[in-house]
Chain A
Amino acid sequence: AQSVTQLDSQVPVFEEAPVELRCNYSSSVSVYLFWYVQYPNQGLQLLLKYLSGSTLVKGINGFEAEFNKSQTSFHLRKPSVHISDTAEYFCAVTSDTGRRALTFGSGTRLQVQP
């Protein structure tokens, strides 16, 4: 079984400041990791994914994340946030992209203030 922990339920940050949203996972097998963003009353949009290869992955909207196997982490970062980045962010994991659904973390609300 897998699980995902997002340590921060809310992260307030000022516009143009850097931000890091933390995600830790637990799994006894190899994993695939994802970050999704959800705007109010909308579905989920894929930000970025780690499937294999380079541990530093870049996504849309200037976000990036680093897969750290030894620390079982997949933290999301952005060097300079915008007001429009205000949304809910979900980290997710699966061990088999073909047959298994994603297991989601509890989400982190990023609140960008002017």
Chain B
Amino acid sequence: GAVVSQHPSWVICKSGTSVKIECRSLDFQATTMFWYRQFPKQSLMLMATSNEGSKATYEQGVEKDKFLINHASLTLSTLTVTSAHPEDSSFYICSAPLRDRESGANVLTFGAGSRLTVL
């Protein structure tokens, strides 16, 4: 079945460095991808919508200069956490809509997530 691949699955970095997380749609194309953030024992909060060929749309309260999103192709979106701080430590999950053959609607398929720990 269709898969969304996310890499790396976990990363530890020093405060002040930047970290890039990749999200790839395998065997299907995605003009839109969604990036979520999840704190421990909490729900998923939408950070931004990644759009192929145009700028990402950020949710209120999410710093676009802090969380850089680039949708380079129809199968790849990247999230770069710039000048990371310990409070950026979280679980980041991407998703891409996949067309449901029966209904024609799109169903979000999620990556396995990337756990970021900033020391």
Co-assembled chains A and B:
yes
Q: Which residues of A contact B (CB under 8 A)?
A: 32, 34, 36, 41-46, 49, 51-53, 90, 97-99, 101-107
CB within 8 Å of A: which B61-113 residues:
91, 93, 95, 97, 100, 102-103, 105-113
Q: Which of B44, B49, B108, B109 has the most CB of A within 10 A?
A: B44
A44, A98, A106: the one within 8 Å of B97 (CB): A98
How many angstroms between the C-alpha atoms of A49 and B45 in the bound complex? Answer: 20
Assess the A102–B6 pair: CB atoms within 8 A. Answer: no
CA distance A46 to B4 in the complex (A): 13
Report whether B113 and A97 are in contact in the complex, using a CB–CB cutoff of 8 Å.
no
Listed A/B pairs (6) with beta-carbon separation below 8 Å:
A41-B113, A43-B4, A52-B105, A98-B106, A99-B32, A102-B46
Contact B103 A105 (CB under 8 A): no
How far apart are the CA atoms of A101 and B44 in the complex, in Å? 11
C-alpha spacing A90/B45, complex, angstroms: 12
Main secondary structure of the interface of B (DSSP, over half): strand
Contacts of B54 in A (CB 8 A): none
The contact of A46 among B44, B103, B107, by CB within 8 Å, is B107
Report the minimum CB–CB distance from A22 to chain B (whole Å). Answer: 15
B1-54 interface with A by 8 A CB criterion: 4, 6, 32, 34, 36, 42-46, 49
Interface set of B (CB-CB < 8 Å, partner A): 4, 6, 32, 34, 36, 42-46, 49, 91, 93, 95, 97, 100, 102-103, 105-113, 115
A32 to B112, CA, bound (A): 23
Q: A43 and B115: CB pair below 8 A?
A: no
Q: Which of A34, A43, A49, A106 has the most CB of B within 10 A?
A: A43
Q: Is B93 in contact with A51, judged by CB distance below 8 angstroms?
A: no
Asked whether B105 lies within 8 Å of A32 as measured between CB atoms, the reply is yes
Q: CA–CA, A4 to B113, complex, Å?
A: 22
With A43-B112, A97-B97: A34-B107 Cβ-Cβ less than 8 Å: yes
